[in-house]
A and B are shown apart, each in its own frame.
Chain A
Amino acid sequence: MILEAKNVSYFYKSQKDKLILKNVNYGFEPGKMYALLGPSGSGKTTLLSLLAGLDTPTKGEILYDGKLITARDLTEHRKHHISLVFQSYNLIDYLTVVENVKLGGKKEPEPILDKMGISQEFWKRNVLQLSGGQQQRVAIARALASDANVLLADEPTGNLDEATAWDVIDLLKRIAHEEGKCVIVVTHSKELADSVDVAIRMDQLGK
């Protein structure tokens, strides 16, 4: 297991009676693409946040490679172990394509962009000059540049048209299968969930 949730429960501090996650136990393996499926309010984004080290569970623990992610600074977990892709791309608007990918960190941006199908003519353009699909590819490129073993994506196709969305899904699958990463995607889409290696329904996770 590269990433594991052990007896994880979570409720908002301001609403202690409202349980979001209860005794979630699940392990994620490298080289596979997972989909967290469920309706709004089912806790899939909360689980993603806990796996990303953006928040800590009320009870239970998150392990990365068998070690508690809280053993070190959570920033270190975000920096070295996981990378995030968001629905709204979340690129920095005053940076170029290459510069945004550089924010990811460890790897050279150009080969990754090449691999993501962003041709050279776009590299020095401002990210706002790209289409939605291209921006999401840049966001994925940035996630890959960090060379983290786990890629967490929250509704990565939510803002894309169907054809582009499937392109992005294929891309994420390739990342999981060809590069051996663990890709976890949060989605509402049943079709998308059916196309991945493991689809996890939130109601089966112990809520």
Chain B
Amino acid sequence: MKMNSLQRAWRSVIRKPIKSILLLLVMITICLFLLCGMACRNANVQTQDTTRQAIGAGLRLDANEKNRSKRLTECSEKIGAGQEGSYGGVHQKKLETAYGTQWMVWCDNSFDSLQISDIEKLADVPGISDYNISTCITAVNPVGFDRIEDPDMDQTNDMGGVVLIGNRKMELDSNVLSGNVTLKDGRMVTEKDQDVCVISEQLADQDHLAVGDKIGFNDYHDPEHSQVQEATIIGIYQTQQPMSPLMAGDTFRSENIIFTDLRFPEKAEGSENDPCYEHAYFQVGDVDNYDAVKAAVSAVDIDWERYDLIDRNGNMSTMSSNFNDLEKISTLLILITFAAGFIMLFLIFVFWTKNRNYEIGILLSLGYKKQNVLGQLFAEAFITALLAFAISFTLAPAASGAAADYLVSAQAEQAELEKNINADNVAYSTVQSEQTVVGVDVDITKEMFLICGAGMVILTAVSIGTAGIGILKKNPKDILSELV
């Protein structure tokens, strides 16, 4: 017969709308701040993981530019001043022109290429879990398919080709590691492949090419007479952002970049057995052991003057520290929300209990126990919290979207700042992908809802419990003296 605390609480919530709406708004704000904080924190953690995986921890071996000039001078001296000839991959030739005698000096791949024996020595170092070799960007003539061209561009000075990048293991190519290049169809090149390629989705669409089709290439210097080399398409890739071109012209545009197996570019340009390896990438198996592995690699007996050993986790530390800061801010936001939420709710409930002394007195005079009266206040708060929680669910995706935008813009800004001072960009003569985060996953997960829900329950219980101590401490006479 008697009305229980839940029945009274429900009626109080419904029939005292201003009081309920005030509490509801405060609770929605707290819920959203909590969810937003958790979404940001989660996004930071996820982005750090993605970044770590994308950039990976590894060492890249590039040719040292200074040493190249030095070797070039030495080779020219060996050939002799004013002499025609070749030495160490450097060629010197005299040309008689209308303007007089001209000297042409050029290098073949054997001069520029990283030495495969050195690469293999480094790959054997304990702690190196895998490695990749990437060839120089090799311009070739497309046979039997059309490249992508800008119709508004003057093609007079363009060689009319496409470019090939050979990889021992394409999944370790810098464009793939950065996350910019992903597969749309088929698979990537592995070390066992021969005469295979992975083309861009734009090229595939334009020429109606699919996985399994064969396309040909030959030397663009002599497209009519040079031998055509065929490669089977094993994959079609897509990019998040166009790969930065090495040189101007449609030959080097992102869509015309074709990834092949390691030895195919030299065959296609007609210089078989004269490969040009531009980068080697050594993946460190245990990221935490990075420094020790780097020291071991540096200790390998090769001609280090010829090479640069570049950290491939430089960006990661910068980006990680950037995201670590955001993670700290997010954690702080959650803690501040909890603290501020507690204070706000506590004050509201203190105000409630003070304001409802009259009602509490009536109930006590009717023989209701203090716990029962306090239970009604708890029930009212939890009904409102439940409603606030449901509304926050609806608003949470918008809040998480805003959080995502903030994170991406913050990271992009930081990456831009680092772009010019990062050692990783030294001698990056191949197509360089952007290493900015273009999107982060800030979905509100079930776990977040559960944590937020539990947090709200605890927050409400603690604040109303603290505020309600006044009721439990008070003698009924103290409250009822105002009534009797």
Which residues on A are within 8 Å of B, measured CB to CB? 45, 48-49, 52, 54-55, 74-76, 78-80, 83-84, 86, 88, 90-92, 94-95, 99, 102-108, 126, 142, 145-146, 154
| Shortest Cβ gap from A188 to chain B (Å) | 15
Q: Whole-angstrom distance between the alpha carbons of A206 and B104 in the complex? A: 132
Q: Whole-angstrom distance between the alpha carbons of A145 and B16 in the complex? A: 26
Q: Whole-angstrom distance between the alpha carbons of A83 and B365 in the complex? A: 8
Interface membership of chain B positions 436-478, coded 1 if the CB is closer than 8 angstroms to chain A and 0 otherwise = 0000000000000000000000000000000000000001110
Q: Which residue of chain A is the closest to B361 with respect to CB atoms?
A: A90
Please judge, given known A-B contacts A79-B366, A80-B367, A154-B484, whether A99 and B358 are in contact too, CB under 8 Å: no
- Which of A55, A94, A108 touches B11 (beta carbons < 8 Å)? A94
Specify which of B16, B483, B484 lies most central, judged by the most chain A CB atoms within 10 Å of its CB: B484
Q: Is B362 an interface residue (CB 8 A)?
A: yes
When distances are taken between beta carbons in the complex, the residues of chain B under 8 Å from A84 are: 365-366, 484
- Which of A49, A55, A75, A126 touches B369 (beta carbons < 8 Å)? A75
Q: Whole-angstrom distance between the alpha carbons of A49 and B484 in the complex? A: 7
- Which of B3, B361, B367, B483 touches A75 (beta carbons < 8 Å)? B367
Q: Which residue of chain B is the closest to A88 with respect to CB atoms?
A: B483
Number of interface residues of B (CB under 8 A): 26
When distances are taken between beta carbons in the complex, the residues of chain B under 8 Å from A45 are: 484
Please judge, given known A-B contacts A49-B484, A54-B484, A154-B484, whether A107 and B1 are in contact too, CB under 8 Å: yes
Please judge, given known A-B contacts A45-B484, A75-B369, A78-B365, whether A103 and B2 are in contact too, CB under 8 Å: yes
Q: Is B305 an interface residue (CB 8 A)?
A: no
Q: Is B26 an interface residue (CB 8 A)?
A: no
Q: Whole-angstrom distance between the alpha carbons of A102 and B366 in the complex? A: 11
Q: Whole-angstrom distance between the alpha carbons of A76 and B366 in the complex? A: 10
Instruction: List residues of B (4-19) whose CB comes within 8 Å of A's CBs.
Output: 8, 11-12, 15-16
Q: Is B363 an interface residue (CB 8 A)?
A: yes
Q: Which residue of chain A is the closest to B362 with respect to CB atoms?
A: A90
When distances are taken between beta carbons in the complex, the residues of chain A under 8 Å from B476 are: 54-55, 74-75
B11→A52 contact, CB < 8 A: no
Q: Whole-angstrom distance between the alpha carbons of A106 and B3 in the complex? A: 10
Q: Which residue of chain A is the closest to B366 with respect to CB atoms?
A: A103
When distances are taken between beta carbons in the complex, the residues of chain A under 8 Å from B3 are: 95, 99, 102-103
Please judge, given known A-B contacts A90-B483, A154-B484, whether A105 and B359 are in contact too, CB under 8 Å: no
- Which of B2, B362, B365, B368 touches A54 (beta carbons < 8 Å)? B365
